[in-house]
A and B are shown apart, each in its own frame.
Chain A
Amino acid sequence: MNFRNAAWATGLVGLVALPFVYREPYHLHILVLILIWSFAYTAWSIMGRFGLVSLGHGGFMGVGAYVTALLWNHLGVSPWIGIPVSMVAAGMLALVVAYPCFRFRITGHYFVLVTLALSGIVLQVITATRDYTGGSLGYTPNRAPSGKGLMALQFDDKTTWYLIALGIWVLGLLIWRWVDRSMSRYAMEAISEDEDAAAAAGVNVTAEKLKITLISALMTALAGALYCQYQMFISPDTVSGIAVSLQMVFAVIVGGLYVSLGPTVGAVITILLAEVLRIGFGTKAVGWDNLVYGLLLVIFIIFLPKGILGSILDRLKTQPKPSGMK
């Protein structure tokens, strides 16, 4: 265990020190994206690992990004306040949709389809309110006057963003670990095995599920808001809708659903893949990256449902000791 802690600490120190040694802006940009998306994917996996497969996370992400940006542009509310407000909004949305689902035992296919519709509807709302949100053309937060960058949470400097994203990513892993070690985890595992049995054993099924959903939705909204602040451009297609929801699921499945670093591995693989395809195919690449994504997703689910990291760890654990066997 000490070895593991030491490895974590060394890795973390290395990651913090990285931007001070290595300053190539493009690579830092990719790293920031990977960290922000890793956080979003971790948020999804907190729910997903208990069989609560949500395709509504694109919706939560969209709420996080758009509410923050709209408050800043139209009311001049600083993202420091806007982000918590947007998280509360996403949390309320999650509760309104999830409560009836959980209260009335809507699980499995039903739950997936309801959440799928949720992300579709958030997309429709963003498109419908095009007078405010710019519709499908996208939306740009106003540039802050110079010197007010901190108040507006806008930094030109990649290093600052890298450190913010790193902090958020670590926060995501800590939340994952906290859930992993809490009583909720056992409750949720019991629920995902058999709801009636869990309820009979004294687990408050609805409350436990709502708690996990709420945590996941809040984190996803935060990821959306940060993505918006970093990219300074959001469009319904990049932060909301079914495609984004599926992208989250895809990355987590590829990386590994049941291990804490799985979503991160998934983010590294998917984002690098997208970048390589984008550079390889140039501007003709529209569509190719998703084509490869989709193929990989199907192949992974059929042949490697535990994901890359999950399968590797499994193999390490179950590997028979070389001596003493047979």
Chain B
Amino acid sequence: MQGFLDIFDIYLLEAVVNGILLGGVLALLALGLNLIFGVIDVTWICYAELVMIGMYGMYYMVQVFGLPYWVAAPIAIMLVAALGALLHYIVIEPLLTAPPINQLLATGGVLFILQSFATVAFGIDFRNLGIRLPVLAIGDMHFSYSRLLAFVAALLGMLAVYFFMTRTYTGTAIRAISQDRQIMSLMGVDTRRIYLITSALGGALAGLAACLLVLQYDVHPFVGLSFGPITFLICVLGGLGNFVGGFLAAFVFAQIISLGGLFSDLEWGYVLAFAFFIVMMFIRPAGLLARRS
């Protein structure tokens, strides 16, 4: 056993564990995006910006209004959920019959709006919650509680979505719509309502991710750009709309980023992840779990 551990550098092990912890949050982000895509067939380019708004919401509630974290978090989740529903109602719904590319570009416009709104309203300073969670030390390895918390909360959030999707009528309707859009409205399901609920759910997942990320990272108007692209890569690698694939891909990517960051800067982790992504596109173009036809 000792010999086995010796092969692995202690830092390597730490990076692996941190990668798993990061994977949880990335999987949460990917799940939200996949949900929207799978059900409404729209990609929210501005998804990471919703997270950014949620992070600002947390910052203002905790730092400015002095709410405790546990009170602020549900409010932030509801806030972003409402934002998601609003986004669907104002932007996506008028475009439902338009070419898919137009829907996608319109959410690109929303990305601009949210980013510059944050710049105008909150300024470009880096802000943080000022909450410093203790660091857990196991042997020579150090893990921050904020990451552990994020990982556990992300898993719980995903479990909650799973149960919602499989155990409730609305969840079943959502899954049915993702399988056949036309038939479901004939079966008496109100498509518009389901779309709104799905958008709110996607927003809520972004809000949850915001509550968890704000513990680890400073918030600024462009923070979405640092994890937005990687979320898109994860969704494509997992297969857009494929929940399990996205979950797996999130952990694969998180490992690459974490291990890449171990040997060099974190940015190189992202670059490595992208290189890996290109290679995977040659091998499994339709996503990790795609069946060969």
Contact = CB atoms under 8 A, between A and B. Distances in A.
Nearest to A241: B225
A109 B43 contact: yes
Given A290-B112, A301-B102, A117 B91 contact: no
A297 B232 contact: no
A125 B267 contact: yes
Q: Which of B91, B111, B281 has the most CB of A within 10 A?
A: B281
A106 interface: yes
Interface in B269-290: 270-271, 274, 277-278, 281-282, 285-286
B113 A286 contact: no
Interface stretch (B76-84, B93-101, B194-202): B93-101
Contact of B274 (A110, A117, A242, A288): A117
A125 B268 CA distance: 7
Question: What's the dominant secondary structure at chain A's contact region?
Answer: helix
Nearest to B114: A294
Interface in A111-125: 112-114, 116-121, 123-125
Given A249-B108, A301-B95, A286 B119 contact: yes
A105 B110 contact: no
Q: Which of A106, A121, A241 has the most CB of B within 10 A?
A: A121
A288 B117 CA distance: 8
A128 B91 CA distance: 36
Contact of B236 (A113, A121, A125): A113
B236 A291 contact: no
A112 B233 contact: no
B235 interface: yes
B59 interface: no
A20 interface: no
Contact of B240 (A110, A121, A242, A287): A110
A124 B106 contact: no
Interface residues of A, number: 50
Question: What's the dominant secondary structure at chain B's contact region?
Answer: helix
A117 B113 contact: no
A301 B105 contact: yes
A120 B225 CA distance: 8
A325 interface: no
Contacts of B281: 100-101, 104, 106, 114
A83 to B, nearest CB: 25
Q: Which of B94, B101, B118, B230 has the most CB of A within 10 A?
A: B101
A106 B285 CA distance: 7
A223 to B, nearest CB: 20
Interface in B109-151: 109-120, 124
B229 interface: yes
Contacts of B219: none
B190 interface: no
B229 A117 contact: yes
A124 B236 CA distance: 19
B111 A121 contact: no
B109 A250 contact: yes
Interface string A277-302: 00000000011111101111110011
B284 to A, nearest CB: 9
B151 to A, nearest CB: 24
B111 A294 contact: yes
Closest 6 CB pairs of A and B: A294-B112, A120-B229, A104-B285, A287-B119, A297-B109, A128-B267
9 contacts: A53-B104, A110-B240, A113-B236, A118-B274, A124-B271, A242-B228, A243-B112, A301-B102, A305-B102
Given A116-B229, A128-B264, A290-B115, 13 more contacts: A96-B278, A112-B45, A117-B274, A124-B271, A128-B267, A243-B115, A243-B225, A246-B111, A249-B108, A250-B108, A295-B113, A297-B108, A301-B109
